[in-house]
Amino acid sequence: MANAGFVAVLLLLAAIAGTRRMEKVPRSFWQNVAEQTVESFHHFAVNVIGPGGEKHAPFLGTLFVFILASNLIGLVPVFSVAAPTANLNTTIALALITFFYVQWQGIRANGVLGYLKHFTMGTHPLLWPLMVPLEVISELAKPLSLAIRLYGNMYGKEQVIIVLVGLAASLLPIWLPIPFQFPILVFGVFVGFVQALVFTLLAGIYIALMTQHEEEHAH
């Protein structure tokens, strides 16, 4: 978890750099990057969630940036830290934060009764004893799948890199350092981006399903 704190500090410093001495017509490189990033997440949130989705952009943006940075930092030799997302504790924490955020937004959007009605899926009351437990289990399975998917991909990638580094060290002479792990490092950048995107996209979909449930039934 210390590695996750290290990533959080780096992102905090980047945020300070992007918002320091802000101007209406930005000339600073960091302010331009910050504004483009915020605008991109606003478009992303609206496209995934629909109208009103922009209010969830700060949460989704923070989620994506933190996961992406956590995925990639383990690939940077100068930091010499393992990817925080290769630790199940970190991915479970992220999944639980997402789970409680989604539930809270569902209550805010539909009220307590509307939120509870979500678990009946608009079925006949006679089917509620069957549907409600299934929906509760389905809802509880979402954070578990988010945590395991992210952890499995990042942990597996790191283990492959460790094996290849050890293979290169044992089979090759010192004067011939061939980086067997280099293709995996390159692929790791792609995997890190995709996993951050998938986690954030699913979070956005869960928010949309929970907050727009009543509107869908009305239609």
Q: How many CB atoms sit inside 10 A of residue 86's CB?
A: 22
Residue bearing the bigger pLDDT, 165 or 191: 191
119, 131 contact by CB (below 8 A): yes
pLDDT tens by residue, 106-133: 999 888 888 888 887 777 777 778 888 8
pLDDT tens by residue, 30-80: 778 888 888 999 999 999 998 888 999 999 999 999 999 999 887 776 655
| Residue at token pair 């009946």 | 120
- pLDDT the model gives residue 172: 62
How far is CA 9 from its chain centroid?
A: 18
Q: What is the mean pLDDT of residues 171-176?
A: 59
Report yes or no on whether pTM surpasses 0.75.
yes
Rounded to whole angstroms, the Cα distance separating 180 from 168 reads: 6
Domain boundary assignment for the chain = 59-218
161, pLDDT greater than 80: no
- pLDDT the model gives residue 219: 40
210, 53 contact by CB (below 8 A): no
Rounded to whole angstroms, the Cα distance separating 90 from 146 reads: 11
